[in-house]
Structure formats: C-alpha cells, structure tokens
Structure 1
Amino acid sequence: MTPRLTHLDDSGAASMVDVGDKAASAREALAEGRVAMAPATLDLILSGMAKKGDVIAVARIAGIMAAKRTHELIPLCHPLLLTKVAVEIEPDPALPGLRVTGLARVSGQTGVEMEALTAVAVACLTIYDMAKAVDRGMRIEGIRLLAKSGGRSGTWQAEPLP
C-alpha cells in the first residue's frame, strides 16, 4: 500500500478528513521548541524586568490560547473540545534561551498534534515579540512533535536529538 496524504481527496484537492465514523479515544500530544537568545536577554527575561512585562507568563497564556484556536489557524484542522493544554517554559543557560513544551489532550475522534505544535509555536513567537526590542537576533528553533498517543495509529515517540 502506497502512503498518501490524508488531506487530499481522490482528485488531489484539499479536503477535511471525515472523522465521523471513528471511535472517540483518549489522545495526547507533546511538542517542543526553543528560543535562542543572547545571555543578557535571557537574564532580562528571568529578572522579570522586560519592558512588556512577564515574558514567560504571557507566552504561556498565548500558547494555551493558540492551542484552543488551532482550527481557526490551520485550514483543515477540526475544532476540538480540548480537555487539557499545558505550556511549560524553562530557561536553558547552555542554549542560551528558553525551552518551550506544549501538551494537548482530548477525548475525541482525531489527534491533537497540531494543537500541541501550535501552542509551542505561538509561545515561542510571543517570547520573540516581547523581547525583540533588546534582541532582534533571537532564533526560534527545533519546533517538533515529541510524542503522541491514542487513536488508530497508537503511540509514537520522536528519536532523541544528537
């Protein structure tokens, strides 16, 4: 069997997948990303003295809000009744910068990978937005799915980075 993209119909046109006949199941996804920055920028963020306010708290809320609106941002995503969204942001002096993880859960007929990835992407963008006045050279890196569970395809986990 040749693999095929699920969001293309038989004629090759973009199409929302019909999940109506699928059984609801518990599903979870975990994603990650990083914002690399100058050490002084990281220090400023951690001190809570950034001009726009508490960067980490605002980015966390932005990520949660984004996960809940994924279907409005990604054209063929289904609206989901998420049961849990969590965004964690941790300093990494070795980067230097911030590591962001996003967790999404649902009991439903389709997965939550896009919600977890959207949470991470928007949290990273918010960090950039709130600190760009002091460091335009920040880099958003490594946004990827770490793990997913549930549904017909079961459990999947990313290989560790070298």
Structure 2
Amino acid sequence: MNQFTHINASGEANMVDVSAKAETVREARAEAFVHMAAETLELIVSGQHHKGDVFATARIAGIQAAKKTWDLIPLCHPCYFEVEVQLEAIPAENKVRIESCCKLAGKTGVEMEALTAASVAALTIYDMCKAVQKDMVISQVRLLEKTGGKSGHFKVEA
C-alpha cells in the first residue's frame, strides 16, 4: 500500500521535499459539474443573466484560484504553470461541465491546481446564479488525468 507523502515518521503533517526530484513535464486535468434548472441554464447560455457573462467570470475565477492553490492548500508547493478552464453548457441534462487543465515543467505536480480551478469555477457559477436559483448542485469534482512525475500516468476509466 502507498504511504501518505505529506506525513512524516512521527505522523505529523509535513511539506514534501522536492529538491532532489527531476524536473519533468507535468499535466493534470480535472472536472466539475453544476446542475441547475433549465431556466437558469438558459439565462447563462443566452447571455441574459443580469450579472453578465457567467462563463467568462467563472473562467477567470478558476484561473485565479489555480494560481493561489498554495495559499489555500497548506502543503502545496508554489509553482508557475499554464492553466486553461473550459466551460460547456449541457442543456439536455441541465448542467454545466467545467474542465481545467494545468501544465508545467517542474518538480511537483499540478493536480491540486487543476482541482482548485474546476472547483472555484463551479463555485463562481453558483455565486453568480444564486439570486435566480439557490438549489443548484455542484458535483463530481475529480481528477481526470495526470501525467509526468514519479507516479507516472493516471487516467480515469470511462
């Protein structure tokens, strides 16, 4: 069984030493969904939402959040990377799918940054739409794929 990397020999939370790790290209993709009423989704898609472009605001929020991950998650390393956040309305299922992708050449992965970007983009959609609908549901925040680093390739099975 794998050991927790953020726990030292005494069982205490510990920052992982990445100084001896090789720099490799690392990439992570994550997703999240926001489920809502058809009327709420239509306001977003049609651009009629009174707060403006919901997708543009959520995209920027996701990018900003990824850049601040090490401020939010105590044992994450600071890193500089490329980040993309894509949003897609799925009218047949009354939901929005958010996918984030973070990529860098470095000594530490970007899984937490990708997950943070997707999560905060979803929270931003909720924030912008809560005046219209309070019972939206954010679901299935998960890592889809990661490459690079010591642990190698991971991909969610379909």
TM-score interval, smaller chain: over 0.9
In structure 2, the residue matched to 1:105 is 103
In structure 2, the residue matched to 1:47 is 46
Is 1:155 matched up with 2:150? no
Aligned partner (choices 104, 119, 122) of residue 120 of structure 2 = 122
Q: Shift in Å at residue 12 of structure 1?
A: 0.5
Q: Shift in Å at residue 50 of structure 1?
A: 1.2
Give per-residue Cα distances to partners, 1:113-146, cap 9 Å, x unaligned. 0000000000000000000000101000000000
Letter aligned with residue 73 of structure 1: L
Letter aligned with residue 10 of structure 1: A
Letter aligned with residue 9 of structure 1: N
User: CA separation in 2, counterparts of 1:36 and 1:133?
Assistant: 15
Q: Shift in Å at residue 8 of structure 1?
A: 0.4
In structure 2, the residue matched to 1:90 is 88
TM superposition score normalised by structure 2: 0.98
Unpaired runs of 5+ residues, structure 1, are none
Percent of aligned pairs with the same residue?
Answer: 54
User: CA separation in 2, counterparts of 1:96 and 1:68?
Assistant: 30
4+ long deviations beyond 6 Å: none
Q: Shift in Å at residue 97 of structure 1?
A: 1.4
TM superposition score normalised by structure 1: 0.96
Instruction: Give the CA RMSD over aligned residues.
Output: 0.7
Is 1:80 matched up with 2:79? yes
In structure 2, the residue matched to 1:145 is 143
Give per-residue Cα distances to partners, 1:140-160, cap 9 Å, x unaligned. 000000000001111110112
